[in-house]
Amino acid sequence: MAAALAPAYALEGLVEAACAGLAHRIACFRHARTGLVLHLVPGGPVTLGRRGGAVREGPVREAVVGPLLVARAPVLQAEWDLLGGEDRREHRGPDLPITGVSWRAARDWLARAGDGLRLPREAEWEHACRAGSATAFPWGDAADPAWCWWLDSAGGRPHAPEEHAGRANAFGLIDASGNVAEWCDDDLDLAMEGSAWQEWDPGKVLRGGSWDRPSSHARSAWREGAPPDRADPDVGLRPVVPVSC
């Protein structure tokens, strides 16, 4: 795999990731052009959605996801600024996630980054966030400020992902729940959700909740959307790269 991904992606080693009784040994790669660190996430059949959850967490459905490189954390401002892009960030710091990014701006940046980087499809995002878990959050069923930045725990601002380096999910991914909401490539399909909670064009999928949203939005199955040109101050991105084993 390392030989197939070189020279765009260099193998940095293996990481042991564990969360809530789940554990994986994950290969870690670095993208030469941007410095992004990505983890090799295994594919397979996955269950999406949450039984007994809110309307925006359903319906429960089955999918098959291929193996992926998934960014360890949301794209940082330092990484974004290497290539430049349109953003409306309100909080600045090289170690903070880039925010104020529209779906279109995220896609433009990824096109410049190249090497197969793209936004995740919704099923890929939920699989990466869950890391094998079946609970509301990767660590359990209750919101926990030790694991997640949301409206009541974040102090009104985004945080450097490294603050949660010791609170990764079982794929070694940081802040998949909370901190910044993350764009997916898909349209938000209201029929899939089973509700007409939005009468206007729902736009593109957002996942993961954020520092400016309630803890419910950080649950692994929570689905919401926004128009592709909107650049909210709590929205960023976490790229993926499909791979063949």
CA dist 192 and 184 (Å) reads 15
For the chain, give the mean pLDDT.
93
Q: Assign 214 a pLDDT band (cuts: 50, 70, 90).
A: very high
CA distance 33 to 145: 34
Segment 27-50 mean pLDDT:
96
Ordered domains of the chain (ranges, CATH) = 2-242 (3.90.1580.10)
Distance CA 151, CA 241 (A): 30
Query: Is residue 196 scored above 80 in pLDDT?
Result: no
pLDDT tens digits, one per residue of 69-112: 999 999 999 999 999 999 999 999 999 999 999 999 999 999 99
| H runs (alpha helix) in the chain | 2-5, 77-83, 103-113, 122-130, 190-193
Write down the pLDDT at residue 195.
44
pLDDT at 193 over 60: no
Q: How many angstroms separate the Cα of 87 from the Cα of each of 91, 101, 111, 118, 138?
A: 11, 5, 16, 18, 30
Task: Please give the pLDDT value at position 187.
Answer: 87
pLDDT of residue 190: 53
Reply yes or no on whether the pLDDT at 198 is more than 70. Answer: no
Q: What angle do CA 201, 68, 14 make, to 5 degrees?
A: 140
- Around Cβ 186, how many Cβ atoms within 10 Å? 19
Helix (H, G, I), strand (E, B) or coil at 123: helix
Degrees to nearest 5, angle at CA 112 with 104 and 83: 95
